[in-house]
Structure 1
Amino acid sequence: MSPRTDFVTALLGIWFGVGLMIDAWAHSNGAELETFFTPWHAVFYSGFAVVSGWIIWQVWRNVRAGRQGLAAVPTGYLAGLVAIPAFAAFGFADMMWHTILGIETTIDIFFSPSHLGLVVTMMLIITTPLRSAWNAPDVGTRPSLGRLLPALLGLAFATTLVSLFLSYGDAMQYRPEGIVRALSMLQNAGGGGPRGGGPVAVGPGAAQVAVAMVITNVIMLSPVLFLVRRWLLPFGSVTVVYTIMVLMPGAQAAFRNLPILLSFVAAGFVSDLLIRWLRPSGERRAAYWAFAGLSAFATWSLYIGVASSTGGGLPAVPELWTGAPVIAGLIGLALGALFLPNAVTAEPVPRSRRAS
């Protein structure tokens, strides 16, 4: 497909993704929902309708041009095309589920079988531009930001779906004062309270925040490492991806956690600087591993730094706020080793292509 076509696919995918964010906001902050037919679902399902119609239209254009069977499906669009009827079926199942069993209002919303089917098929649809760009001959290994933007948008919105369904372990949803309070507590099997005694503070505890940081670290860094192994990302790529990633937890918390969200946007910018400095790629394993560890360390250093500066000062337990970024960096290094255990040898350019 042409870059313009992929860009339209990505834009319509944004409609689809934003519709889900609005629905997540309504479930987290609105009145108790008692029906499937809500304005939020209207935005969500209309987004599905327009992006699906656009994908089907691209296939139909090829059919009219004389292509038959799978040859009529543009490269990268097959999984999205197959996911369209599957998503519609899960949508109908979700409506019946809510009609018979009611509307989920707490953590059970993330375990509903119909919701899980919707999120998987939705991911296949909105990542269509990524699959299209993956093998596009004009992208190369050093694409421009504009050419790679549809792929970045698709992958970033797909990652927001993962963060939504793991939001019970999402460190981005906490407010600065809650993070400082949690990292000022020591917890054990008998419960925990502020260091030096006193009542247990209301809000997340140290263990809850620590686990959420690990989960969120993996969710945010994995798609970046996936992209870095394939391309030398143009400057601004990680900033774009992280800016989109923070929208879902922001919507769920009604953006009352804005300082924390901005810390991740800043972390994306720092990661872009690291890419420019280290030039990590599948062929440069040491640089790839260094980027994975340093990016994670910088992200969570900024997280604790912003929380401390806007949430009442440094946490009272120094082992927690000094060690947490180190653990994040080590996890990032481990992810780098898993994504790239051995350097990838560049394929030789065929003689015919060198001649051209």
Structure 2
Amino acid sequence: MKTASSLLHSNQGRANVRPWFEWSIAFFSTWFVLGLYLDGWAHANELPDSFFTPWHAFLYSGFLGAAIILVGSFLRARLRGASLRQALPVGYNLSLLGVGLFLLGGVGDMLWHIFFGIEANLEALYSPTHLLLAASGFLLVTGGLRSAWWHVTTTRGASFLVVLSLTLALSILTFFTSEFHPFDHPWAWVGYRPAATPFVASLTTHSTPALLDAGGTSQDIAEVVGVSSILLQSALLMALLLLTIRRFGTRLPFGWLTFLLGVNGLGMSIFHSTPWVIPVAGIAGLIADALYRWLGPTSPRIVQLRLFAAVVPIILYSLYFLAVFLIGGVWWSIHLWTGGIALAGVVGWFMSLLLVPPATPEPQAEPRPQEDA
């Protein structure tokens, strides 16, 4: 099994990372994700849809720009004698794989539509071919993060590329889970309160869900989906943050969390006109930046890391519910919305246990039994 030091040593023969290469990939990756969100906005607002739309052009031109640079750099290095693994700078082989998978997913999506029809509503996010496109996009935009991961020193420019790459990665995750995101569907807000119509189970088995057995209504379902959305998004956010902190420690600049959360909040606000989430995300990011500087969470400083992991989602969703109160009110009971905030912190804490597990005792040799004289 290769250690980190051996992997670093094996990367020495790779093509050197040139600034123009990394910044070009970052630019077109950003363009690609902007196009993705524009396409989502168009679908959410039920604009006329076809393959030839301005938002599709935005999306695919961003992908095409990144693909040309990656494939061109790869082929040029191969012509100069570089091996397959060393033709691209460290971290970008998976981005090239993402290009190939995106093309495969595009062809697969066309065939899927021919045989099974075009997806609608929630289906559009979770059809297998669209998930393949999502995974390939994730590989494409995280090249800068992987590149910095395998470099011993982190320059200011590299730090920004890490933050940008992380922001794009989070934005892809939140886009494809947007139906389960409190910023997109604020189920606790009075404006989203459904009518208390009973759900009727029409099942062929003798077993019905407990919620329906108890006479559950559409309001109960809205509460279940709303709380589950908070837990899911807390897990996704803290997984990315803690993974980044585990590698880069406290070396990222002040403001990186404000940028990440603010940009993501801006993106999530456009689908169903929820602009009030932008200041929520921005202020939460600013407080998280202050905590990052004050606590200095790193793997060796495990108490500070656990505290950071729990407090950040608590702050985010405390501000979220405060904003919901201010824009009209929360229809959930106090038991539910305060519990949702608390559980967000629990999820963050559990993610810290997963990404930075507690130390285990070193195995000790058992004493050898004494032989009889």
TM-score normalised by the shorter chain: which range applies? Answer: 0.7 to 0.9
Q: Which residue of 2 aligns with 1:178?
A: 189
| Alpha-carbon distance between aligned partners in 2 of 1:82 and 1:322, rounded to the nearest angstrom | 44
C-alpha contact (below 8 Å) 1:83/1:121 kept by paired residues: yes
In the alignment, which of 314, 330, 336 is matched to residue 320 of structure 1? Answer: 336
CA distance in 2, matches of 1:331, 1:69: 41
Number of aligned positions between the proteins: 326
The residue number in structure 2 matching 1:93 is: 108
Structure 1 unaligned blocks of 5 or more: 193-199, 345-356
Gaps of 5+ in 2: 1-16, 199-210, 361-373
1:206 to 213, 223, 237: 223
Q: Any idea what SS the aligned residue of 2:183 has?
A: helix
Are 1:176 and 1:306, in contact at CA under 8 Å, matched by a contact in 2?
A: no
- Please state how far the C-alpha of 1:108 moved relative to its aligned partner: 0.9
Shift of 1:230: 1.1
Decide whether the 8 Å contact of 1:6 with 1:132 is kept in 2.
no
Structure-1 separation of matches of 2:86 and 2:69: 18
CA contact (8 A) 2:125 2:176 kept: yes
Report if aligned partners of 2:188, 2:332 keep a CA contact under 8 Å in 1.
no
User: Which of 67, 83, 89 is 2:82 aligned to?
Assistant: 67
TM, length-normalised to structure 2: 0.79
Which stretch has the larger CA shift, 294-303 or 85-94?
Answer: 85-94
Is residue 293 of structure 1 aligned with residue 310 of structure 2? yes
- Which residue matches 1:152? 163
How far off its partner does 1:295 sit? 0.7
Aligned to 2:34: 18
Quick check: 1:239 aligned with 2:258? yes
The C-alpha deviation readout for 1:296-330, integer Å capped at 9, x for no partner, is 11111111111111224x65622223332112111
Give me the whole-angstrom Cα distance separating, in 2, the residues matched to 1:302 and 1:317.
Answer: 17
Distance 1:162 1:287, change over 3 A: same
Shift of 1:263: 0.7
SS in 2 for 1:329: helix
Measured after TM superposition, the shift of residue 149 of structure 1 is: 1.4
Question: Structure 2 CA distance, aligned partners of 1:102 and 1:154?
Answer: 34
What amino acid maps onto 1:75 in structure 2?
V
Correspondence for 1:190: 215
SS of 1:191's partner is coil
- Secondary structure of the corresponding residue to residue 51 of structure 2: coil
Q: Given the superposition, is the C-alpha separation of residues 15 and 148 from structure 1 closer, same or farther in structure 2, using an over 3 Å criterion? A: same
Letter in 1 for 2:261: Y
Distance 1:226 1:177 in 2: 30
Runs (4+) off by over 6 Å:
none
Identity in percent: 29
- TM-score, normalised to structure 1, is 0.83
Q: What residue in structure 1 maps to residue 176 of structure 2?
A: 165
In 1: Cα distance, 2:290 partner to 2:222 partner: 33
- Deviations along 1:270-293, one digit per CA (max 9) or x if unpaired, are 111110110001121111101001
Report the alpha carbon displacement of residue 124 of structure 1 after superposing the two structures with TM. 0.6
Higher-Rg structure is: 2
Question: What root-mean-square deviation, in Å, do the aligned CA atoms of Structure 1 and Structure 2 show?
Answer: 2.7
Contact 1:178/1:204 (8 A) holds in 2: no
Could you tell me which residue of structure 2 aligns to residue 42 of structure 1?
57
